Chain A
């Protein structure tokens, strides 16, 4: 179980950047199954409970706990945007004065929840990074023209010029596979043995 997070963190769903949650072996196994092998059946927790050897209700309460402490961000379908209408994608980097980062971020975030379809929004990722270009976000739209229009809209609202922007459209996707080996992290001895290349 997740044991070391104070309740106030659990309430607003945020976790301190350097706060690693303590997970037991069942949690780790559960996270592995939830990431790669979620059963698309009428009673998914029952199927998981059989694999984990714990009661169905325990599986569900563990999942709720992992949500509350912020380990699980989302549970559901992850789309391949290239197979939807939103198949024009780009990565954008902005050069923003430090004291304006939050303001610019909130302008960008409006576009993360602005589409009433399953895709949800034009923006899927938005990170502050340690570089002269310090705000990086991904943008998806129905056409190249729409991408440009949205980007210009954001720049205008943020009061940024074209000189402060890198627009880096996707040419080819080689790989996307976000599946963390939970079993190899946060172990008692801190061994990184399985985390090598291979």
Chain B
């Protein structure tokens, strides 16, 4: 990534402008051609800096009203097998191995799941749990997106 890539990404990270030729606007701002903007974007995508270019949706607005992190206690020698298996489900959007906190929080694997109801989340979790034979887990339903909480000054 060079300086222009960084400027380009900073510009686009605020959100693509909703105009007929959105990349032209960015090109003008950076003083480069639109072809260069598009070439740089596809290079950043190819090298993986941009994981995905597109829309991020709010799950609850499209019917996915039950959103949960599930924390699992997985034996270290089974982490690889279990993580790969959990990741194979479309409904599991994220799957991470994380450090546990000895003596107070033994969970070391985290899956994020989205569904139309808690009942469906629980059915999915039950299937995962039974398939891998792991029953030490906790479902952490999201209650509120706290990023929408404003500070006292209202900014």
Contact = CB atoms under 8 A, between A and B. Distances in A.
Interface of A: 14-15, 17-21, 23, 31, 34-38, 40-46, 56, 60, 63-64, 67, 69-80, 83-84, 90-91, 93, 101-102, 105-110, 112, 116-120, 123, 125-131, 134-137, 166-182, 185-186, 192, 195, 197-198
Interface in B28-82: 34, 38, 41-42, 44-45, 47-65, 69, 79
A77 B13 contact: yes
22 contacts: A15-B60, A20-B60, A40-B38, A41-B38, A44-B23, A60-B18, A60-B20, A74-B56, A77-B41, A79-B9, A79-B51, A91-B110, A101-B146, A106-B151, A118-B10, A127-B142, A128-B143, A129-B142, A172-B96, A174-B86, A176-B95, A197-B124
A105 B146 contact: yes
A36 B54 CA distance: 7
Contacts of B53: 38, 40, 76-78
B101 A38 contact: no
Interface of B: 6, 9-10, 12-16, 18-24, 34, 38, 41-42, 44-45, 47-65, 69, 79, 83-84, 86-87, 89-101, 104-105, 108, 110, 114-116, 120, 124, 127, 138, 140-152
A197 B15 contact: no
A139 B72 CA distance: 21
Given A43-B20, A128-B142, A175-B94, A185 B9 contact: no
B83 A106 contact: no
Q: In the complex, which of the residues B6, B98, B124 has the most CB atoms of chain A within 10 Å of its own CB atom?
A: B98
B13 A120 contact: yes
